[in-house]
Amino acid sequence: MKHLNASPPHIAPEHLALGTCPTCGRKSYLTRREARRAARAIHPHTALRAYKCGDHWHNGHTSAWRKRGEQQ
């Protein structure tokens, strides 16, 4: 059984972005899976994480405070 949230295989990962986020101006993705898929395709071998911003998902590096183990 296929996952309902799976991105169709015919859509290139770099074309999964919905546009820019009205809050922060970054590329927006509908799901975490699409954000991670696009990150792997656009920036291979780079440690990016998907994070939620409002109703959308973005990719970015892990923040320094999180690497130190602090709570924000």
Radius of gyration for the alpha carbons in the chain, expressed in angstroms and rounded: 13
Range of the domain at 31: 14-64
Residue 60 lies in a domain: yes
Is residue 8 situated within a structural domain?
no
Report if residue 7 sits inside a domain: no
- Specify the pLDDT at position 24: 81
Beta strands in 16-67 (DSSP E): 19-20, 27-28, 49-53, 56-60
Classify residue 30: in a domain, yes or no.
Answer: yes
Residue 69 located in a structural domain? no
pTM equals 0.66
Give the count of domains, the chain: 1
Residue 6 falls inside a structural domain: no
Read off the pLDDT of residues 5-56 as tens digits, 9 standing for 90 and up.
Answer: 555 555 666 677 888 888 888 889 999 999 998 888 888 888 888 988 888 8
